[in-house]
Amino acid sequence: MRDASAKDGTARLIVGPFNRVEGDLEVRLEVADGAVRAAFVSSPLFRGFERILEGRDPFDALVIAPRICGICSVSQSQAAALALAQWQGLAPTANGRIATNLLVAAENVADHLTHFHLFFMPDFARAAYADRPWFAAAEARFKAGRGTSARRLIEARATLMHVLGLLAGRWPHTLAIQPGGVTRRAEPRDQMRLLATLGAVRATLEQTLYGAPLERISALADPRELEAWRALGPDGDFRLFLEIAADLDLTHLGRAYDRFLSFGAYPGEEGPHYPAGTFADGVLGGVDEAAIAEDHTFARMEDRAAPHHPFAGSTIPDGFDETGYTWCKAPRLAGQPFETGALARQFMDGQPLARALVAAGGGNVFSRVIGRLIETARTLIAMEGWVRALEPAEPWCAHGTNPSEGRGAGLTEAARGALGHWMEVRNGRIARYQIIAPTTWNFSPRDAAGVPGPLEAALVGAPVQEGETTPLSVQHIVRSFDPCMVCTVH
């Protein structure tokens, strides 16, 4: 939709429906001199899961919360289970923790594959790029619904989901993840089956996506190595992406604040496999959970007077609110917007290429996608180790008692970043349940100070070609975050 130009030459574009993201998204753009001058990101779907959870038995959260999202339902399960575990004062068994990591990792790897092959890359197979030297290859591999790589990866993804079928009954919306572990043990024969499944996925990724062993991707350390890979590296989707990215200069597209947040992923005996942390103004730091607050100024929500920590937050939609332009709240950490996702996780873990790309050009379309592709390889390698670490003869699920009063927070990572559940129990029932999902951080609206959310900031300066109503640059930037809009508003 394009509005008539305003007096100052600013044109207004409303872009939507934004597909190949999870859920519903509309972006309003103010365009002048061939570039985006301001962006307003809107989540146009409100369901109200936090309200739906109120008044229920705390364990019902394990049924309801995953159904917030069909693409990251296992992450939602894990966040709910962690919140319940804190409320119960219960620690999971070692097997339960490792099996949960396997389930979450399978979903996260599947998400990265879905994002790359089905959501992000098809944009480069559009007719608008028909004159580029790489177009024929991109069309053959990534044309929506037809590309050869896309088809192969849909099959590999279905195979990967056997990890969920075997250990958790099914995907999405399993009930297998519990505060004390998992409901189904794995036998030695299951370990063999899991290794065979992961081996099949590894083979497809090494043949189609990377053209190289996962270990080689995992060890990438230097942007110059990427340059060499682009010129001479093994053939695969990865190399094609490097070629496209260089031609379209994707490193200079979609930079936001370069402030990153990770809650830490895959708990282990000595801390998470990918650590928690923040990076802001060039400085690494820890996550001060108490400094998180949600601002409602431009969300169509009541309680606009001041930002709230989630333990004090509310979700009361205001259908008559004229100031708000989205149902998404604006989470802030110490008052600042943060970007979250695979790049943030790999950065916190000190993966050298992630560190180097951020040092060179911050978070941008290129570094976000590379962060995801590195993480896919590293996580699959970790999963193979976790399968071997399972001890079938040891216990799988611990059981606790249910205090009638109390609260718990569950902080974890979904594929697209930091996910937190905050639950308060009174009289044995859920009195308050607040969720901040990764896309809520990334796609947040402006706050009371007028500071735009990360995507809103990343879109400023995006080039808009003459006559474009749905600018391609905007699509690349939006999809580089791998948004999950249903989670955003819950």
Partner 1 sequence: MTVQSRAHGFNVLWLQSGGCGGCTMSLLCAEAPDLLTTLDFAGIRLLWHPSLSEETGTEAVELLGAVARGDIRLDALCVEGALLRGPNGTGRFHVLAGTGRPTIEWVRDLAAVAEHVVAVGTCAAYGGVTAAGANPADACGLQYDGRREGGALGAAFRSRSGLPVINIAGCPTHPNWITETLMLLSAGLLGADDLDAYRRPRFYADHLVHHGCPRNEYYEYKASAEKLSDLGCMMEHLGCLGTQAHADCNTRPWNGEGSCTRGGYACINCTAPEFEEPGHPYLATPKIAGIPVGLPTDMPKAWFIALSSLAKAATPERLRRNAVSDHVVMPPTVRDIKRR
- Binding site members for Ni(2+): 69, 72, 484
428-467 residues in contact with partner 1 (CB under 8 A) are none
One symbol per residue from 81 to 120: x for binding partner 1 (CB under 8 A), - otherwise; what is it? ---------------------------------x---xx-
The SS3 assignment for 308 reads strand
Q: Closest distance between partner 1 and the C-beta of residue 157, in Å?
A: 7
* Residue 70 contacts partner 1 per CB under 8 A: yes
Q: 410 has which bridge partners? A: 421
Please report, as residue ranges, which positions from 32 to 51 form the binding site for partner 1 (by CB under 8 A).
42, 44-48, 51
Q: How many CB atoms lie within 10 A of CB 20?
A: 17
Closest contact distance (angstroms) between CB of 283 and partner 1 is 37
CA distance 113 to 373: 9
**Which listed residue (12, 20, 216, 304) binds partner 1 by CB under 8 A?**
20
Q: Does residue number 54 form part of the binding site for partner 1 (CB under 8 A)? A: yes
- Measured from the CB atom, is 352 or 395 closer to partner 1? 395
Cβ-based nearer residue to partner 1, 168 or 354: 168
Does 17 bind partner 1 (CB under 8 A)? Our answer is yes
| H/E run at residue 407 | strand 406-414
Angle between helix 237-248 and 365-389 (nearest 10): 160
CA gap 433, 56 in Å, rounded = 10
Q: Least Å distance between CB 71 and partner 1?
A: 5
- 14 and 4 Cβ atoms separated by less than 8 Å: no
Residues 392 to 411: which contact partner 1 by CB under 8 A?
Answer: 392-393, 395-397, 399
Among 11, 32, 64, 280, interactor with partner 1 by CB under 8 A = 64
Which positions from 245 through 284 interact with partner 1, judged by CB under 8 A? none
- Residue 3 CB, nearest approach to partner 1 (Å): 12
Q: Which residues contact 47 (CB under 8 A, 6 or more apart)?
A: 486, 489, 490
Query: Distance between CA atoms of 74 and 71, rounded to whole angstroms?
Result: 8
295 pairs with which residues across the strands?
A: 330
The residue count for binding partner 1 (CB under 8 A) is 89
Instruction: Single out the residue of 476, 452, 407, 13 nearest to residue 250, CA to CA.
Output: 476
Q: What residues form the annotated binding site for Mg(2+)?
A: 50, 435, 490
Q: Which is nearer to partner 1, 168 or 344 (CB)?
A: 168
The whole-angstrom separation of Cα 487 and Cα 179 is: 22
Q: What whole-number distance in Å separates Cα of residue 124 and Cα of residue 144? A: 10
Q: For partner 1, give the closer residue by CB, 151 or 216.
A: 151
Closer residue to partner 1, CB minimum distance, 104 or 167: 167
The least distance separating partner 1 from the CB of residue 203, rounded to whole angstroms, comes to 16
26 binds partner 1 (CB under 8 A): yes
Residues 121-180 touching partner 1, rule: CB under 8 A, are: 122-123, 125-126, 143-146, 151, 154-155, 157-159, 161-162, 164-176, 178
Tell which one of 5, 6, 57, 252 touches partner 1 (CB under 8 A).
57
Looking at the Cβ atoms of 10 and 470, the one nearer to partner 1 is 470
**Radius of gyration, alpha carbons of the chain:** 22
Q: Give the SS3 label for residue 420.
A: strand
Q: Can residue 24 be called a binding residue for partner 1 (CB under 8 A)?
A: yes
Structure tokens at 324: 């708000």
Minimum CB–partner distance for residue 188 and partner 1 (Å): 11
What is the C-alpha separation between 119 and 138, in angstroms, rounded?
A: 14
Binding region = 50, 69, 72, 435, 484, 487, 490
Cβ distance to partner 1 smaller for residue 49 or 263: 49
Which helix (H) or strand (E) element contains residue 229? Answer: helix 223-232
> Is residue 53 a contact point for partner 1 (CB under 8 A)?
yes
Instruction: Give 32 or 63: the residue with its C-beta nearer to partner 1.
Output: 63
**Residue 307 Cβ, how far from partner 1 at the closest point, in Å?**
22
Q: Which of residues 308-367 bind partner 1 (CB under 8 A)?
A: 317, 319, 327
Question: Whose Cβ is closer to partner 1: residue 69's or residue 353's?
Answer: 69
Helix (H, G, I), strand (E, B) or coil at 421: strand
Counting Cβ atoms within 10 Å, is residue 33 exposed (0-12), middle (13-18) or buried (19+)? exposed
- For tokens 């050869």, the residue is 148
Residue 371 Cβ vs partner 1, minimum distance, rounded to whole Å: 22
Residues 6+ apart with CB under 8 A from 312: none
Q: How many CA atoms lie within 13 A of 319 on its CB side?
A: 4
Q: Which is nearer to partner 1, 170 or 291 (CB)?
A: 170
| Apex 106 CA angle, 104 and 111, nearest 5 | 95
